[in-house]
Chain A
Amino acid sequence: MNALKRVLGVLWIMIGAYAVYYLIVNQAISLWNKGGENIIPAVIYTLILCPMIAGALGTFGLYSLQGEFDSKD
Chain B
Amino acid sequence: MSQSKKNSMFSIIGASSVGTMIEWYDFYIFGSLATVIASKFFPAGPGNETLSFLSTLATFAAGFVVRPFGALFFGRLGDLIGRKYTFMVTLLLMGGATFAIGCIPSYETIGMLAPILVLLLRLLQGLALGGEYGGAATYVAEHSPVNQRGYMTSWIQITATAGLIVSLIVIAVTKLSLSKEDFDAYGWRIPFLASIFMVGISYIIRRNMHESPLFSKAKAAGKTSTNPLKESFGNKLNFKYVLLALLGVTMGQGVVWYTGQFYAMSFIEKIMNVPKEQVDSVMIWALCLGTPFFVVFGWLSDKIGRKWIMMGGMLIAILSYRTIYTNMYETVNIKNKTEIVDKATAVAELKENAKNKNGGVDSVYTKTKAFVDGTTYKEVKTVTLNNGSVEQKDGKPLVDTKKTVTINSSDKWTLILFVFIQMIFVTMVYGPVAAFLVEMFPIKIRYTSMSLPYHIGNGIFGGLLPAIATFLVTNATKANTVAAEAGLAKVIDKPYLEGLWYPIILAGICFVIGTIYLDGKDNKVDDELVGDFKNEEVDLAIGK
Contacts and interface: CB of A to CB of B under 8 A. Distances in A.
Interface in A45-71: 48-49, 52, 56-57, 59-60, 63-64, 68-69, 71
Nearest to A47: B65
Interface residues of A, number: 21
Contacts of A69: 240, 244, 517
A54 B246 CA distance: 13
Interface stretch (B342-350, B354-362, B456-464): B456-464
A49 B464 contact: yes
B247 A56 contact: yes
Contacts of A64: 517
Interface in B308-348: none
Given A52-B456, A52-B460, A59 B243 contact: yes
B60 interface: yes
A69 B518 CA distance: 9
B509 interface: yes
Interface of A is mostly: helix
B236 interface: yes
B1 interface: no
B197 interface: no
Interface in A30-52: 40-41, 44, 48-49, 52
Contacts of A12: 513
Interface string A1-41: 10011001000100100000000000000000000000011
Interface of B is mostly: helix
Contacts of B513: 12, 60
A4 B516 CA distance: 8
Contacts of B109: none
B246 A56 contact: yes
B516 A41 contact: no
A41 B474 CA distance: 12
Contact of A48 (B460, B471, B517): B460
B509 A48 contact: no
Interface string B245-265: 011000000000000000000
B468 A60 contact: no
B467 interface: yes
B181 interface: no
B243 A60 contact: yes
A44 B456 contact: no
Nearest to B251: A56
Contacts of B108: none
A44 B246 contact: no
Nearest to B237: A68
Q: Which of A15, A57, A69 has the most CB of B within 10 A?
A: A69
B485 interface: no
Interface of A: 1, 4-5, 8, 12, 15, 40-41, 44, 48-49, 52, 56-57, 59-60, 63-64, 68-69, 71
Interface of B: 56, 60, 64-65, 236, 240, 243-244, 246-247, 456, 460-461, 464, 467-468, 471, 509, 512-513, 516-517, 519
28 contacts: A8-B512, A8-B516, A40-B56, A40-B60, A41-B468, A41-B471, A44-B60, A44-B464, A44-B467, A44-B468, A48-B64, A48-B65, A48-B460, A48-B464, A52-B460, A56-B243, A56-B246, A56-B247, A60-B240, A60-B243, A60-B247, A60-B513, A63-B240, A63-B243, A64-B517, A69-B240, A69-B244, A69-B517
User: Ordered nearest first, which 5 A-B pairs have the shortest CB separation?
Assistant: A60-B243, A68-B240, A63-B240, A41-B471, A69-B517
Given A52-B460, A60-B243, A63-B240, 9 more contacts: A1-B516, A4-B516, A15-B509, A40-B56, A44-B467, A52-B461, A56-B243, A64-B517, A69-B240
